[in-house]
Structure 1
Amino acid sequence: MIVNKFPFVLHNIILTCVERWVGMMMSFYRYGKSKKNKRFRYTEAQLQEAVEFIRQSKLNISQASKKYGIPKSTLSNKLRGKVPAVRKMGPTTILTMEEEANLEKWILSKAMLGFPMDPDEVKDSVQRVLKIVKRPNVFTDDRPGKKWMKLFLQRHPNVTKRNTEIISKGRASVTEEGIRTWFGELKDYLISENAEDILSCPERIFNADETGLQTCPKSGKLLGPKNYKNFYELASGPEKECITVLCTFSAAGVCVPPMVVYPYKRIPRDIVTSMPDNWGIGRSDSGWMVSATFYEFVANIFYPWLEENNIKLPVLLLLDGHKSHISMDLFNFCIKNNIILFCLLPNATHILQPCDVAVFKALKVAWKDVVMRQKQDSQKSITKTNFAPLFKNAFDKAIKPETIMAGFRVTGLFPFDPNAVDYSKCISNRPKEIREFEVVRTIANPVNSADYKSTLKVLEHHMGIHPY
């Protein structure tokens, strides 16, 4: 009997092929993907350092590969010059590496001098350069788009988009020398008053300042339909109403009861009864701080609080130079009751005032959170009547001893140390910081100049373009 073995042979062949295919796929998923994921898990700086160590005979190729996680073949190719020294993936950029480096310097220099650039301004400048040199590119009308800007920021991580803080020309004129002089004057004045020991007693150093809180602060970005054109949010209170609160803190991290100022000639009873215990209540026609209201705070809240808490006199009360803080009546009262008033350096409160530097930001974040919760829980508007109890919730949440003490520490007020001040906030000092940037050396007076065309000329000059 003849047996046909062909079906069995075919079966074995198919089974073998399937097994090999399964093995190949498993190998691919096991090794192929892992190799792909491991690609470039080292930085350019690590690569350069590894190559340098090999050249200096501090490491051999195997040791460097193991230490930095760089393939041996990559290190070998770098050492032999088979590949460029700088790794570059993807197509070449429209601007050369040198041109982009100069563009980065230009952007950073202007930002450090107080003239940060809008992305559209950068695109316009590049467009002008490309039109002058007539370099082929894929841009519409030689102007880069959003994608180019995004990739440029990825290639230059030192440049980033940030929200700016607007400061006046007066603040921009504050210098490190002026701040150090102010510290010297404060110390000399306390010595002349035989009160230098105050500087070593945090419980005797105070800072008072007022801030405005909106009854309807901006909520920021909220969730909603993607393509919904008119996206509204019901206001939590009168949209433009702002209530003034006067806060006072000591370098020991202690809070003096605050004062809330209302725009009334005669304060309604329901507002008076809503005030938290021991808090002050003030009034003025505008709702802002005025000299009479500040005098009431010092005489009726601050000084009694000092006596009640057995604070050793004299004490130092640091204020900004606003006219509402200085009056003849207040001056005489403070002399009589051993309260030393001393004004902070003009236009330097963003550097020297603990309230501004550390406390008020946290307070306003907490206030915004309280407003949001009020809308979610009760749907009731925030009014002058319920403001104080709600604000107390934010005050208790935000004002922590460590936050207050940090404010006094970073401003150099306690411990008393002029070197603790962040002098990088002095705009007028920044030309010294950026001298290594060649791009700003040709700018004659960068702090006072608002002529952006001059900086464009500098960019074009350093990119090798001389159209003028």
Structure 2
Amino acid sequence: MPQHPFSKRSVAFRAASAADRNTREVRLQRASLELNNGQHDSIRQAAAANNVPEASLRHRRQGRQPKVRAQNNQQRLTPTEESGLLEFIRHRACSGFALTLVLLREHANNVIHSNPARCQAPDVTHMWLQAFLLQHPTIWSHWSWCLDNARLSGATETIIQQWFNRLAEIMREYNVASTNVYNMDETGFMFGQAGSEQIIVPSGEPAARYKAQPGTHELATIIECIGSGGQVLSPLIITKGQVHTVGEQRQMEGVPGSWRFAKTDNGWTSHALGLKWLETIFEPETRPSTPSTWRLLIINGHKSHTSKPFLDLCWNRNIIPFLLPAHATHVMQPLDVSIFGPLLASIKCLISDAATHVSDVDKPMFVTMYAQA
């Protein structure tokens, strides 16, 4: 459903109006040039020959600028800034993060206030937003479609095929090499959680069916990333606490020095850690030799990698964030489908083996097991 007042009909009208203004300006310039060359005896004759209003041609000869050009100095954004804003809108839309009207205004205000000379300038208004959309017929506003889970099945053949078609289109548009496609995801592991196994117990002893598990119910979150060219990036391991200590690091065995660690109050990831992962792991470890080369990062809708700072940094570093379809990650997320399942099973086996001689799986031991798995 189109959002008033920018319907499909109004979009077509805006495009036609913009095209007409451009062609009229060309005719005015041609008429003025022909007068300068002596091809016409009067302004009226030149105007008639080029199908432009005599008054417009007369004003142009007197030095009056076109309305669009004359208003440039009064516009809130410079032409360069407007071009950048249009590119930003296109970037966000093509990767699945289309801007709302509120976010568009917010971004425009950020652009204005980033200029020291305009840091105290008032924010753009809704009227500015309407005018901006009218001036640029290549973009338009419409209502997004929201479907509840009962109606939306993200794993349908049609949705999956559309997603792959869009992926191929984006890769062609930005000339993304097949070896520059990556997938990142995070998953949670619980310290000391062993897997279920088939065991032999005395008959008539229900309590013997339960197996002791070492450790606590403390959670660790791990961010991993793999590449279509066989790349495996350093993980970011997030545990509960304040600071990752040297003492903990020394107790870990067989852990590569490139692995990164972080602490949060609950062991979960956050906006800040998602951005830290992008800045300190993904960007430097996948940086191409040619700065203009584009990379594509497939992500799900987790809030830690759909925040504005995360997405802005992606585009600033020639990284295309590409969103997986909603409710389809269980069949389409490469890490989810092929890596995390077997990895979790392997860790549970190691924990089960350790249960016979340790009573507690702490953080250093868990990370050691993760490295072994």
TM range (shorter): 0.5 to 0.7
Shift of 1:383: 1.1
Deviations 1:47-73 (A, max 9, x none): xxxxxxxxxxxxxxxxxxxxxxxxxxx
Equivalent position of 2:180 in the other structure: 204
> 1:175 matched to which residue of 2?
156
- Give the CA deviation at 1:247: 1.1
Which residue, out of 146, 166, 169, partners 1:185? 166
Q: Hey, which bits of structure 1, 4+ residues long, moved more than 3 A? A: 168-174, 272-276, 307-313
Aligned mates of 2:296, 2:349 — CA distance in 1? 34
Give the direction of change, closer, same or farther, for the CA distance of 1:393–1:211 in structure 2 (3 Å limit). same
TM-score, normalised to structure 2, is 0.54
Work out which of the residue numbers 187, 197, 205 in structure 2 matches 1:228.
Answer: 205
Q: Which residue of 2 aligns with 1:384?
A: 363
Q: 1:265 aligns with which of 231, 239, 242?
A: 242
- Does the 8 Å contact 1:276/1:389 carry over to 2? no
State the alpha-carbon separation in 2 of the partners of residues 308 and 248 from structure 1: 16
In structure 1, how many angstroms separate the alpha carbons of the residues matched to 2:194 and 2:370?
13
Query: Structure 2: which amino acid aligns with 1:249?
Result: I
Q: Distance in 1 between matches of 2:294 and 2:284?
A: 14
Residue of 351, 354, 358 corresponding to 1:371 = 351
Deviation at 1:171, TM superposition (A): 6.7
Match of 2:26 in 1: none
Contact residue 170 and residue 347 of structure 1 kept, 8 A: no
Matches within 5 A, 1:50-449: 169=150, 172=153, 174-192=155-173, 194-195=174-175, 197-198=176-177, 201=178, 203-215=179-191, 216-231=193-208, 232-238=210-216, 240-273=217-250, 274=252, 276-307=256-287, 313-376=293-356, 378-394=357-373
- The 1:255/1:235 distance shift into structure 2, 3 A limit, reads same
What code does the residue aligned with 1:366 have?
S
Alignment partner of 1:257: what SS? Answer: coil
For the 8 Å contact 2:154–2:328, the answer to whether it is kept is no
Unaligned runs of 5+ in 2: 1-148
Mark the CA change 1:255 to 1:290 in structure 2 (over 3 Å): closer, same or farther.
same
Distance 1:297 1:357, change over 3 A: same
Structure 2 Cα separation of the partners of residues 326 and 169 of structure 1:
24
Helix, strand or coil: the match of 2:298? Answer: strand
TM-superposed CA distance for 1:258, in Å, is 0.8
Distance (whole Å) between structure 1 residues aligned to residue 233 and residue 247 of structure 2 = 24
Contact 2:236 2:260 in 1 (8 A): yes
**CA apart distance, 1:307:** 3.7
Whether contact under 8 Å (2:305, 2:311) holds in the other structure is: no
Shift of 1:169: 4.4
Look at both structures and tell me which one has the larger radius of gyration over its CA atoms: 1
Corresponding letter in the other structure for 1:262: T
> Which secondary structure does the structure 2 equivalent of 1:335 belong to?
helix
Gaps of 5+ in 1: 1-167, 395-468
1:112-170: per-residue Cα shift (whole Å, max 9, x none)?
A: xxxxxxxxxxxxxxxxxxxxxxxxxxxxxxxxxxxxxxxxxxxxxxxxxxxxxxxx747
Q: What count of residue pairs does the alignment treat as equivalent?
A: 220
Displacement after TM superposition at 1:328 (Å): 2.0
Letter in 1 for 2:370: F
1:440 is matched with: none
Identity of paired residues, percent? Answer: 25
CA shift, 1:319, in A, is 0.5
Kindly tell me: are residues 248 and 317 of structure 1, through their superposed partners in 2, closer, same or farther at Cα, counting changes over 3 Å? same
Q: Is the 8 A contact 1:284 1:293 kept in 2?
A: no
Greater shift in the superposed pair: 338-347 or 220-229: 220-229
| Residue 329 (structure 1) shift | 1.8
Looking at structure 1, the residues matched to 150 and 228 of structure 2 have their Cα atoms a distance apart, in angstroms, of 30
CA RMSD after TM alignment: 2.5
For residues 311 and 279 of structure 1, the distance between their equivalents in structure 2, rounded to whole angstroms, comes to 25
Cα deviation, residue 308, structure 1: 8.8
SS in 2 for 1:220: coil
What TM-score comes out, normalization by structure 1 length? Answer: 0.44
Distance in 1 between the 2:170 and 2:261 partners?
A: 33
